[in-house]
Structure 1
Amino acid sequence: MSLKELAENASKGHRTAQEMVADGLREGILRGVLKAGQPLRQMEIAEQFGVSSIPVREALRQLEGEGLMVFYPRRGAVVSELSRDEVLEICEMREVLELLALRKAFPNLTEGDLQRAEEVLERADAQTDEELLGMWGEVNWEFHSALYRPANRPQLLGVIRNLHNRFDRYLRIHFSALDYRVKGQQEHWEILERCKRGDEGRALEELRRHILTVKEMLLEYLDGEAEEDDAP
């Protein structure tokens, strides 16, 4: 897929020029079309998306805030590298904040909340691997947020949502390169089952294990990639 094709896909639907560019570039980065370390040239992006340079700059700043790109002096905008330290930090924050969210939400969980979470998992189970790859991050968030939203902590949920957005790139690697679909869904179903039974302690334990498993598998993958890069 080329930058032009990303632009054509992003142009579908009604949105601002900034949103169109940001969505197109984000999808390119998350899908691996735009590689780590690849320069993002503003003039080329503006030409392919058919917009002026102003929404391109705004979109690049937005993606910088999401951790998907960085600005370097003289080099300009570059797709950010996958970072072991970022995986560690995000997972450490997720472990603390998501367990807090579920703990606060647990007394307020209704049959409707649990049904919504179950419908997300059923929808994911019905998708092919290829279909699910493109929506794995969003499906993952829909499931988790269905369980956290009853906490009635909008600021907390917003921070967790931002962490999930930053982690989406890693989740797609996790899903495709590490063949995590079956295990990830099993862990989701186990968390939901504990919530249905009203077993708060085990639900929190399963959630912690789920986050730690993701972290360990990703770190092992990134360490292996680093060893290959260092090999003579």
Structure 2
Amino acid sequence: MNRRRPNPLVSRLVEVRSRSDHSTIEEELRSLILSGGAPPGTTIPPGEVADAYRVSPIPVREALKTLVGEGLVVHQRNSGYRVSQLSTEELKEIYFVRGVLEQAALAQSVERVTDADIAAARGCHEQLLTATKWGDGKSFHDISRQFHAHLTDPCGMPRLLSMFESTWNLTEPFQVMRSVSASTQTLLNADHEAMLVAFADRDTAAVLQVARVHHSRLEAAILETADRREIGPD
């Protein structure tokens, strides 16, 4: 008798589960989606997840309900649960909202940022240059978020940062920065350098100007990656 092949997402969850006994189903599902380990459109079978964790379907469905509320998962009566899949236009809209929130955070951070914060961001910038040099798209993607966090977190506004994080999470499953060209990465790195200079000078106007230019490049990056793969139905 042929055995049914396990769902790829469930197989990855089992692998992650074997490394930690402390994370919850919700945390591990969220982490897998945000890391790109479960690409947009991936099906999430609650029964198989429950079997893998040796629990009833109830905690799995509760976890999925939370992730639906965060926008990371969608539920349709006839097709079950899937990792959210957005059209190019929807993704551009989320990036727009994310950019507005980031500019608000950056404006508040300029006067509060410490030399240590700037040094940490510069450390990320150096790693991004290395990632571009060696064509390491995954590192470029992951470290980009760390760079921006070092410059937005000092704003000291938890509600704003929570909204900013939520919009960033919505874009994470698409792993856009992993797919952009080296030339685009070079332009983004130049923006980062200009932002660091503006922060060091405590120049709010310059910081926001660079942030606007940077955001326009991110929108172009979305279109660039959309040309290489299908992001979702329009």
TM-score by length of 2: 0.79
Question: What amino acid does structure 1 have at the position aligned with 2:171?
Answer: F
Give the 3 Å change call, closer, same or farther, for CA 173–147 of structure 1 in structure 2.
closer
After superposition, the C-alpha distances for 1:41-91 in whole angstroms (9 at most, x for unaligned) are 111222234443223212322332332321101321123223223223222
Q: What residue is the counterpart of 1:150 in the other structure?
A: 154
Greater relative contact order structure (CA < 8 Å, 6+ sep): 2
Correspondence 1:216 to 2:220: yes
Q: What residue is the counterpart of 1:193 in the other structure?
A: 197
Match of 1:87 among 68, 86, 91: 91
Q: What residue is the counterpart of 1:136 in the other structure?
A: 141
Higher helix share: 1
| Other structure's SS at 2:110 match | helix
CA distance in 1, matches of 2:219, 2:87: 12
| Other structure's SS at 1:78 match | strand
Correspondence 1:96 to 2:100: yes
Match of 1:8 among 5, 11, 15: 15
After TM superposition, give the deviation of residue 207 of structure 1 in Å: 0.9
After superposition, the C-alpha distances for 1:146-166 in whole angstroms (9 at most, x for unaligned) are 212222211111111111111
Write out the 4+ residue segments of structure 1 that deviate beyond 6 Å after TM superposition.
none
| Other structure's SS at 2:71 match | coil
Q: For the Cα contact (< 8 Å) 1:108–1:150, is it kept in 2?
A: yes
How many residues align structurally?
222
Structure 2, unpaired ranges of 5+: 1-6
After TM superposition, give the deviation of residue 135 of structure 1 in Å: 7.4
Correspondence 1:78 to 2:85: no
TM-score by length of 1: 0.79
Q: What residue is the counterpart of 1:175 in the other structure?
A: 178
Give the 3 Å change call, closer, same or farther, for CA 97–17 of structure 1 in structure 2.
closer
CA distance in 1, matches of 2:125, 2:54: 38
Q: Name the % identity.
A: 27
After TM superposition, give the deviation of residue 178 of structure 1 in Å: 4.3
Q: What residue is the counterpart of 1:58 in the other structure?
A: 62
RMSD: 3.0
CA distance in 1, matches of 2:56, 2:34: 20
CA distance in 2, matches of 1:193, 1:213: 19
Query: Which moved further from structure 2: 76-85 or 209-218?
Result: 76-85
CA distance in 2, matches of 1:19, 1:195: 37
Question: What amino acid does structure 2 have at the position aligned with 1:17?
Answer: T
| Other structure's SS at 1:108 match | coil
Match of 1:112 among 106, 113, 116: 116
